[in-house]
């Protein structure tokens, strides 16, 4: 049953978070509202965005679409269904918004008038719809769906789905890699690009019969396809590789919407992704890598001249990877985000001369949308000391201002210390950046226990951001000093620094961590005998490596960490990742895998360790966590296994997340507090 949509102004007194003595409790953190995906109306007056409110009773996040003027003020709720409403996209005339909703049972495209009226369902495709994008004239909507590629119509998909559900034998027969990815089985299905009339009706599969993903599975969002300004064609990303599990080679294809003809417009053996047309129609822009098989190669911003077919790299001299980006309405500027020195900064690029200016430095800044007059950007922003919220900034970088305050009581009453940026000397005399966060009510004359948090990747970084599984303020509020190093291999410090981790998993990173321990233990307010360490993914691997190489930490938490690199290779999905980072396959280079595999050092395990893993984690399959726990138990090491049968690589459901934090802090307290 649908609740009535409300567009009337609401008094913003949303106080889902309560504070206890000014401290961020686990319950307060888990209950926090998050605002994401800002979209500016064609007239530049309104911003549509997504509000995610934890629903602890049903163990899910309730998402709805809200409106706010670009100038700020009180937001207005646009949707209020019992399903999830998200991914709002304005119609070209600004009168309605297309969005994805699960209110009918499965994700479908819906459309709602902005100034009053009920939502109307546009698609009824059995395989669900995702990522709606309007055609420039507003007559059609493109989206993608996960379908059986051989099916010519939706009745075929429905029949295939029902056949599988009704079969008493649930066995899977697989004849190729990649057959599952992150947390989903492919089941012989593909992402296919569709187009449907904006008023509804039968959707047309634009790549019918093709056994490849358009856009890539599973992360191919609406940023991986786009209409040309004249509406005559769509460009879309696809990976047309014989064995997807070992290839990073994605390309951009253009589909003529009148004839159905398709042509490839990039000829790069590495990845080409995130295409967009310049508003004047002259260029197709995209992000590109240069090294095949290396997923952490630097992303460069490229423009393709549609008339001449020539390309130009706009960020060749910019030693950072380009993230999300958007064009200005006059096609003269591109605004993009990039990880830089522990932050995800926002930049402006002049397409004529290639000059780049940093606009917003601190925090995690993304999903930028520019107003039609080119004067302002609206962004989704978060930091170590504030959750996901919507902000506005002038396009010259001035007047950064927060627009949403859904956690107003928390903002007023909960003490959150800003992260301090510190530097120390690591491996090879390199300067290592780290964040230091002190607990609320910090007293410099006291001595505190501390936790070192180790990031995943490894070609990644802990940036100044509000994290779901690694919320630093929640850990600090439990009475800990937090130390968060960006060791060798971390993004945002130049590509050479990123490359240094390849075939050196337990080398320089481990040395950086030990030297970070020394830095932390030497602080006058830290008890060096009461320091724990925790990490997930590669951070979990590093915790497992630490377990076999030092007993300096008082306790450890390993989440989604690899234990046996040979066994992990045989059951993971993106094989290009270990083959690049560990120097080939274990059949060709067993020495490289054995050298850096924590299981080889299990006889040295001594430090109390809690292992956390999800059953649906196909990136680092659950067997790795189970092996780690078995080794700890057989060595007589105090240990605990926290197993989630309904989670993948991350712990996302609100109640599960709360339980994880209770277990994490309880474990640390038992070994680090006197």
Task: Assess whether pLDDT exceeds 80 at residue 66.
Answer: yes
**pLDDT given for residue 10 in this prediction:** 36
Task: Assess whether pLDDT exceeds 60 at residue 289.
Answer: yes
- pLDDT-derived band at 674 (thresholds 50, 70, 90) equals confident
Please give the share of the chain, as a percent, with pLDDT higher than 90: 93
With respect to residue 585, please indicate whether it lies within any of the assigned structural domains. yes
Mean pLDDT score, 286-293? 98
Task: Assess whether pLDDT exceeds 50 at residue 2.
Answer: no
With respect to residue 527, please indicate whether it lies within any of the assigned structural domains. yes
- pLDDT-derived band at 220 (thresholds 50, 70, 90) equals confident
- pLDDT-derived band at 218 (thresholds 50, 70, 90) equals confident
With respect to residue 449, please indicate whether it lies within any of the assigned structural domains. yes
Alpha carbon 126 to its chain's center: 27
Who has greater pLDDT, 329 or 218? 329
User: Residue 636's domain is classified under what CATH number?
Assistant: 3.40.50.1820
- pLDDT-derived band at 4 (thresholds 50, 70, 90) equals very low
With respect to residue 554, please indicate whether it lies within any of the assigned structural domains. yes
Contact 391, 378 (CB under 8 A): yes
With respect to residue 288, please indicate whether it lies within any of the assigned structural domains. no
104 vs 13: CA distance, rounded Å: 30
**pLDDT given for residue 30 in this prediction:** 96
**pLDDT given for residue 8 in this prediction:** 34
Give the strand order in the sheet containing 283-288. 272-277, 283-288, 300-305, 311-313
Task: Assess whether pLDDT exceeds 90 at residue 116.
Answer: no
Task: Assess whether pLDDT exceeds 50 at residue 12.
Answer: no
Q: Which domain holds residue 444?
A: 417-672
Mean pLDDT score, 416-421? 96
**pLDDT given for residue 21 in this prediction:** 55
With respect to residue 537, please indicate whether it lies within any of the assigned structural domains. yes
Half-sphere exposure of 524 (CA within 13 A, CB side): 5
610 vs 494: CA distance, rounded Å: 34
Task: Assess whether pLDDT exceeds 60 at residue 508.
Answer: yes
410 vs 251: CA distance, rounded Å: 45
Mean pLDDT score, 213-219? 90
**pLDDT given for residue 412 in this prediction:** 83
**pLDDT given for residue 3 in this prediction:** 34
pTM listed for this prediction: 0.95
With respect to residue 488, please indicate whether it lies within any of the assigned structural domains. yes
Give the strand order in the sheet containing 120-121. 85-90, 96-101, 108-113, 120-121
Q: How many domains does the chain have?
A: 1
**Range name among 10-14, 22-26, 79-83, 246-250 with the lowest pLDDT average:** 10-14
Give the strand order in the sheet containing 46-55. 34-40, 46-55, 60-69, 72-77
82 vs 66: CA distance, rounded Å: 15
- pLDDT-derived band at 378 (thresholds 50, 70, 90) equals very high
Beta bridge pairs of residue 66: 49, 77
With respect to residue 511, please indicate whether it lies within any of the assigned structural domains. yes
Mean pLDDT rounded to a whole number for the chain: 95
């Amino acid at each position: 049953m649908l609740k009535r949509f409300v567009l009337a102004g609401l008094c913003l007194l949303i106080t889902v978070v309560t504070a206890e003595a000014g401290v961020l409790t686990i319950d307060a953190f888990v209950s926090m509202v998050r605002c994401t995906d800002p979209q500016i109306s064609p007239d530049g007056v309104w911003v549509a965005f997504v509000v995610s409110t934890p629903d602890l009773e049903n163990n899910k996040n309730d998402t709805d679409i809200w409106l706010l003027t670009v100038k700020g003020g009180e937001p207005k709720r646009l949707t209020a269904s019992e399903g999830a409403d998200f991914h709002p996209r304005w119609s070209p005339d600004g009168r309605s918004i297309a969005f994805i909703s699960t209110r009918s049972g499965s994700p479908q495209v819906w459309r709602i008038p902005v100034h009053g009226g009920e939502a109307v369902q546009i698609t009824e495709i059995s395989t669900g719809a995702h990522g709606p994008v309007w055609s420039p004239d507003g007559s059609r909507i493109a989206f993608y769906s996960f379908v059986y590629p051989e099916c010519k119509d939706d009745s075929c998909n429905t029949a295939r789905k029902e056949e599988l559900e009704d079969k008493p034998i649930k066995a899977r027969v697989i004849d190729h890699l990649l057959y599952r990815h992150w947390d989903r089985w492919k089941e012989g299905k593909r992402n296919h690009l569709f187009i449907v009339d904006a008023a509804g009706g039968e959707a047309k599969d634009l790549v019918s019969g093709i056994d490849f993903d358009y856009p890539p599975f599973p992360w191919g969002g609406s940023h991986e396809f786009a209409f040309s300004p004249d509406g005559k064609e769509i460009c879309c990303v696809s990976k047309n590789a014989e064995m997807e599990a070992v290839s990073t080679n994605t390309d951009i294809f253009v589909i003529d919407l009148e004839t159905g003809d398709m042509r490839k417009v990039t000829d790069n053996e590495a990845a080409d992704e995130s295409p967009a047309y310049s508003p004047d129609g002259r260029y197709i822009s995209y992000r590109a890598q240069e090294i095949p098989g290396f997923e952490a190669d630097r992303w460069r911003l490229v423009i393709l001249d549609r008339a001449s077919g020539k390309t130009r790299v706009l960020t060749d001299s910019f030693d950072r990877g380009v993230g999300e980006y958007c064009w200005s309405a006059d096609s003269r500027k591109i605004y993009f985000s990039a990880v830089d020195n522990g932050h995800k900064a926002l930049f402006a690029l002049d397409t004529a001369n290639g000059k780049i200016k940093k606009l917003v430095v601190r925090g995690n800044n993304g999903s930028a949308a520019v107003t039609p007059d080119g004067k302002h950007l609206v962004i989704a922003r978060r930091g170590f000391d504030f959750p996901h919220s919507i902000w506005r900034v002038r396009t010259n970088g001035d007047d950064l201002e927060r627009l949403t305050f859904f956690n107003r009581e928390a903002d007023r009453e909960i003490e959150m210390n800003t992260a301090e940026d510190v530097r120390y000397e690591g491996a090879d005399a390199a300067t290592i950046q780290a964040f230091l966060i002190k607990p609320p009510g910090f007293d410099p004359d006291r001595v505190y226990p501390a936790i070192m948090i180790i990031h995943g990747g490894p070609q990644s970084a802990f940036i100044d951001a509000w994290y779901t599984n690694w919320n630093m303020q929640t850990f600090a509020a439990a009475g800990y000093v937090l130390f968060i190093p960006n060791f060798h291999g971390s993004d945002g410090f130049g590509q050479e620094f990123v490359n240094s981790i390849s075939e050196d998993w337990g080398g320089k990173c481990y040395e950086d961590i030990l030297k970070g321990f020394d830095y932390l233990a030497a602080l006058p307010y830290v008890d060096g005998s009461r320091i724990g360490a925790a990490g997930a993914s590669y951070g979990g691997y590093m915790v497992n490596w630490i377990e076999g190489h030092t007993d300096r930490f008082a306790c450890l938490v390993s989440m989604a960490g690899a234990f046996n690199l040979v066994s992990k290779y045989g059951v993971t999905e993106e094989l290009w990742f270990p083959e690049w980072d560990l120097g080939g396959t274990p059949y060709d280079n067993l020495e490289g895998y054995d050298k850096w595999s924590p299981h080889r050092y299990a006889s040295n395990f001594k430090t109390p360790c809690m292992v956390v893993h999800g059953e649906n984690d196909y990136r680092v399959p659950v067997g790795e966590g189970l092996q780690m726990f078995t080794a700890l138990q057989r060595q007589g090491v105090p240990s605990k296994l926290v197993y989630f049968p309904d989670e993948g690589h991350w712990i996302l459901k609100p109640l599960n997340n709360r339980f994880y934090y209770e277990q994490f802090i309880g474990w640390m307290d038992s070994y680090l507090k006197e």
